[in-house]
Amino acid sequence: MVPATNRLIVVTGGGGGIGRATALLCARRGDTVAILDKNGETAKETADAARVAGAGGALGLACDVSDESQVAQAFALIDEQFGAPYGIFANAGIDVGGLIHEMPLERWQHILDTNLTGIFLTCKHGLRQMLAAQIAGSIVCTSSPASFVAFAAGGSGAYSATKGAISSLVRCMAIDYAKFGIRVNAVAPGATETGLMWNNVAADQIETMRVQLCREIPLGRLAGAEDPARVVAWLLSDETIYMTGSHVVCDGGILAKSSISV
């Protein structure tokens, strides 16, 4: 297999946040981008912005990554219009908090279906196309520092379980598909200024928590969406041609810091 020269990048959860920022960075370097998001309108808005930014082509589609029929249909439409992908950013996810003993099974299942099964289905159908087209490309999955440590605020058991599983899946896929020249890596974004960041925080507590986080993050600020997006765009490029099975942490230094103050 040889690297593709006309790159198509598929981004899930591309309607906002890190997914949107990644799609636009890829567009600025001339890549063709296909944006999948549960919210079809935001996916289309990102595709429009990508065209303005210089994308070779852009497509925005509504897709719930937890539904295999929707994922399969989305990849079929992408293939019909642009061909097989060179790169995939499997990024769509949710963060719903709660203590395990209080969590309804339906909520637990919803988190797993979206975060973990969604990554599986995205990679499954993307890999099929890459293998059929003999494309040696790159897959990046969104993990989290929660894959390595528990969040101090607590209540993140289900979310953290999915991220730990994603990290394991990335390592396994890296080994399974290395012989085809397909690289699989993970990005682990820290606290990032996106809607998802504040999903479990009451509106009147957001500013207080933002100030507290900025005091605790060694670099002194939350990430902007483009900070981890730059890492993803790098992992999707040939500059990382010898990287696979790796995690790139982009958290402002949180994981490097002891949890105690002395």
Long-range contacts of 97-105 (CB under 8 A, 24+ apart): 97/155, 97/156, 97/159, 97/199, 97/200, 98/155, 98/157, 98/158, 99/154, 99/155, 99/157, 100/157, 100/158, 103/157, 103/158
pLDDT at residue 3 in the model: 43
Domains of the chain plus CATH, in order, are 8-250 (3.40.50.720)
pLDDT at residue 62 in the model: 98
Percent of the chain with pLDDT over 90: 79
Backbone angles phi, psi at 138, to 5 degrees: -140, 135
Which has the closest alpha carbon to 141: 92, 97, 70? Answer: 92
d(CA 28, CA 119): 25
Cβ proximity of 141 and 189 under 8 Å:
no
**Where would I find the beta strands (DSSP E) of 63-105?**
87-90
| pLDDT, tens digit (0-9, with 9 covering 90-100), for 49-88 | 999 999 999 999 999 999 999 999 999 999 999 999 999 9
pLDDT at residue 197 in the model: 64
Work out the angle at residue 13's Cα, subtended by the Cα atoms of residues 51 and 247, and round it to the nearest 5 degrees.
105
What is the pLDDT tens value at each position of the chain, 262 positions in all?
434 456 999 999 999 999 999 999 999 999 999 999 999 999 999 999 999 999 999 999 999 999 999 999 999 999 999 999 999 999 999 988 899 999 999 999 999 999 999 999 999 999 999 999 999 999 999 999 999 998 877 888 999 999 999 999 999 999 999 999 999 999 999 888 876 666 666 677 777 777 888 888 889 988 899 999 999 999 999 999 999 999 999 999 999 987 776 6
pLDDT at residue 97 in the model: 85
Which has the closest alpha carbon to 141: 97, 87, 178? Answer: 87
For the chain, the average pLDDT equals: 92
Count CB neighbours of 252 within 10 A. Answer: 23
Does residue 213 come out as left (phi exceeding 0), alpha (psi in the -120 to 50 range) or beta?
alpha
Q: Which residues are catalytic?
A: 159
Integer-rounded Cα Rg, in Å, for the chain is 18
Q: Which residues contact 245 (CB under 8 A, 6 or more apart)?
A: 170, 171, 174, 175, 184, 185
Instruction: Look up tokens 């790098």; give the residue.
Output: 234
pLDDT at residue 154 in the model: 83
**Dihedral over alpha carbons 213, 248, 53, 182 (to 10 degrees):** -150
Q: How many helices (H) and strands (E) does the chain have?
A: 8, 7
